[in-house]
Chains A and B, each alone.
Chain A
Amino acid sequence: MAEPIGSSCLAVNGLVTGYDARNVLTGVSLSLNSGELVTVVGPNGHGKTTLLRAISGLLPVRKGSVSLNGRAISGLPAHRVAANGVIHVPQGDLLFAGMSVLENLLMGAYLDSDQVAVARRLDEVFSLLPKLAERRTQIAASLSGGERRMVGIGRGLMMKGSVMLIDEPSLGLAPIVIEQIYEVIARLKASGRTILLVEENPARVADIADRIHLLDNGAFVWSGEPAVLLQGDELLATYLGG
C-alpha cells in the first residue's frame, strides 16, 4: 500500500508556533527518512497536536521551516500541504459525523480524480480494516470509538501522500481496541509507510518506533531509540514524574 517515496521525507527545522501571544513550541526540529516511524511523546497540553497542526498548515509557522521531500511546505495553506502529500489523521478523528463510512472514506480521495485508483485504494482500505466494509453505509456519528478511529485512519489512507501524521490513536479507547489500532499501525509501517506518530505514553510506542522524541514544555528534551529510553529508567521516571 506504500506510495513511491524519496529518501529524507519530512524535515522540521527550528519550528516555533503557538496561539495568540503565546508560543507553544519554542524551536522543534526533527526529520523522517522514508519508511521510518518516528514518535513524539509528551504529556497532555505540551504541544504535540500543535506540532502536527503546524506541519499540516492548520496553524501558521512563526519561525523555522517544514519541508517535504526537499520542498518547503511551511507557509502553504492546509489544503495545499495536503496536495503536496502530507496525510494528517487528526486527534479525535474529526470525522464528517453526518456522512456514511463510505462517504468519509471517499472524502479522503477528494484530490484524486482517477476513479480506478480510488476504487483500488478503497479495496486496500477495506482489506486492512474489514470492519469498515461491514459498516460502509452506517452514519459516522453512530459508530463506536474504535470504529471511528478506523474511519479516521482509513480516510487518511485514501489520500495519496508520502508521510502520515497520526495524532494520539489510542485516545479514549479501551486497551483491547488500542491493541487493534496499533496492529494496524504496525502493518502500515511494515508496508513501508513513513509515519510521524504522537502519543502520551512512551511504553505504548516503544515496540514500533524507530526513534522517539520526548516533548516537554514546547521543546524536545530527549531524542533517541526506544531501547535506550526504556533502559534509562531514571530519565523516564523523572520525565513521567515531572
Chain B
Amino acid sequence: MDIIGPVLVAGMTTGALYALATLGLSLVWGSLGMLNMAHGTLLTLGGYAAFTAASQLGWPVPVAVLAAAAVGGLIGALIFMLVAYPLSRRSPETFETTIMIATFGVALTLENIVLRLYGGQPLGQPLSVGGSISLGRFVLPWQNLVIIIAAIALMAATALFLARTKAGRAIRATAQNPDAAKLLGVPVARVYLQVLILSGILAGVCGVLVSSITQLSPSLGADPMLKAFIMCVVAGLGNLPGAIITSFALAIVEAVVQFLAGARWGFPALLAIVILVLIRRPGGLFGRVEMRRL
C-alpha cells in the first residue's frame, strides 16, 4: 500500500525527535530526581539560537547548530547552579517537588523573554533541507532523513559516552548511588552539573531539529516536552534504552492513529496507552518502581 511508507516516515521522524527529547529529560530525572519542567524551553532556546546564528548573524549551518547546543548547555548549567543546587542544599527532602515548581517558573520566564525578543509570530527555521529521495513509489524527504540520522547519531554518542568513558561511568554511578559515589571521591555536585549540561546540549540540538520541520515559536518545546514526559512514564524512569524504544514505538502508533482516525486522535491514543501501561505495570514497561538506574 502506498500510504504505509509516508506514515512510517512520519512516525520514525517524530519518534526520533521524541526519543531525543526524552533522553535529555530522562537523564536529569533519573540521576537527580529532578523533573526539569524547563526542558521544553531548552528546545525552544536551541531553535531560536540556531535561527539567530544562521539568519541574523549569517553563520554557517554547522556553527549555528553548535550555537544551539552551546546555548542549551549553558542554560542547563545555569538552571543547576542558580536553581537546582541551592534548592537541593536547602531542603533535600522536598527537592523533588520544589524543583518542579521552580523549573516551571524558569520555563515561563524564559519563554516570555523569547516572546519579547522575537515576537509571538511563527518564524521559519532557515536550517532545513529541501528535496527528497524516491525509491520507486516510496518518497523520503531529505529533511526527515536528516532528522532521523542526526537524532540517532546524538543518542548513540550519548550512549557511548555514558558506557565507555570515566565521566560517563561516574554519571551512572552517581545516579545509582550518590552516597557511595561520594565515598569514592566523586564530586557529586559537579557530576550533576555535567548531566544538566549534557541534557541542555541534547535539548538545544533537538530544538533545531523540531523547528526544521515545523516552525519557530515560543512554545516550540512544549509538545516534545509533554511527549518526553509520557515516554518516561511509560518506559519507567531511568531506563534510557527503554525510553528510546518507547519513543519510537509510540510515535509510530500515534502516526498510524492519526492517519486512520484523524490528527486529533493521536494524543488521546497516547494517553490511553499510558493509562493501560500504568494499570498493568505501575513502574513502567522497563522500570522498577523504586530503583533509579542509568
A binds B: yes
Q: Which A residues are closer than 8 A to B by beta carbons? A: 56-58, 77-79, 82-83, 88, 90, 94-99, 103, 106-108, 110-111, 155, 159
Whether B291 lies near A97 (C-beta < 8 A) is: yes
Whether B172 lies near A79 (C-beta < 8 A) is: no
Whether B183 lies near A78 (C-beta < 8 A) is: yes
Which residues of chain A are within 8 angstroms of B293 by Cβ–Cβ distance?
97-98
Which residues of chain B are within 8 angstroms of A106 by Cβ–Cβ distance?
169
Report B182-194 CB contacts with A as 1/0, cut-off 8 Å: 1111111000000
Q: Is B214 an interface residue (CB 8 A)?
A: no
Whether B170 lies near A56 (C-beta < 8 A) is: no
Whether A95 lies near B184 (C-beta < 8 A) is: no
Q: Is B100 an interface residue (CB 8 A)?
A: no
The 10 A-B pairs at the shortest CB distance, nearest first, are namely A78-B182, A82-B185, A94-B180, A111-B185, A98-B293, A96-B176, A88-B183, A96-B173, A79-B187, A79-B185
Q: Is the interface of A mostly helix, strand, loop or mixed?
A: loop
CA of A69 to CA of B134, assembled, Å: 73
CA of A231 to CA of B186, assembled, Å: 45
Could you jot down 21 A-B contacts, CB within 8 Å? A57-B182, A78-B179, A78-B183, A79-B187, A82-B182, A90-B179, A90-B183, A95-B177, A96-B172, A96-B177, A96-B180, A97-B291, A98-B294, A99-B169, A99-B176, A107-B169, A107-B173, A110-B185, A110-B186, A111-B184, A159-B184
Whether A98 lies near B182 (C-beta < 8 A) is: no
Q: Using CB atoms, name the residue of chain A closest to B187.
A: A79
A104 CB to closest chain B CB, in angstroms? 8
A107 CB to closest chain B CB, in angstroms? 5
Interface residues of B in 184-223 (CB under 8 A from A): 184-188
CA of A111 to CA of B173, assembled, Å: 14
CA of A110 to CA of B191, assembled, Å: 13
Query: Interface extent on B, as a size class?
Result: 20 to 34
Which residues of chain B are within 8 angstroms of A77 by Cβ–Cβ distance?
182, 187
Which residues of chain A are within 8 angstroms of B170 by Cβ–Cβ distance?
107, 110
Report B266-294 CB contacts with A as 1/0, cut-off 8 Å: 00000000000000000000000001011
* Selected contact of B176 from candidates A57, A58, A78, A98, CB within 8 Å: A98
Whether B184 lies near A155 (C-beta < 8 A) is: yes
Whether B183 lies near A103 (C-beta < 8 A) is: no
Which residues of chain B are within 8 angstroms of A58 by Cβ–Cβ distance?
179, 182-183
Q: Is B264 an interface residue (CB 8 A)?
A: no
CA of A185 to CA of B165, assembled, Å: 32
CA of A98 to CA of B176, assembled, Å: 7
CA of A96 to CA of B291, assembled, Å: 11
A75 CB to closest chain B CB, in angstroms? 15
Which residues of chain A are within 8 angstroms of B186 by Cβ–Cβ distance?
79, 107, 110
CA of A95 to CA of B177, assembled, Å: 7
B177 CB to closest chain A CB, in angstroms? 5
Interface residues of B in 234-250 (CB under 8 A from A): none
Which residues of chain B are within 8 angstroms of A78 by Cβ–Cβ distance?
179, 182-183
* Selected contact of A90 from candidates B172, B180, B294, CB within 8 Å: B180
* Given known A-B contacts A97-B291, A103-B169, A110-B166, A79 and B176 have beta carbons under 8 A apart: no
Which residues of chain A are within 8 angstroms of B53 by Cβ–Cβ distance?
none
Q: Is B81 an interface residue (CB 8 A)?
A: no
Which residues of chain B are within 8 angstroms of A103 by Cβ–Cβ distance?
169
A139 CB to closest chain B CB, in angstroms? 10
CA of A77 to CA of B189, assembled, Å: 11
* Given known A-B contacts A98-B293, A107-B169, A107-B173, A82 and B180 have beta carbons under 8 A apart: no
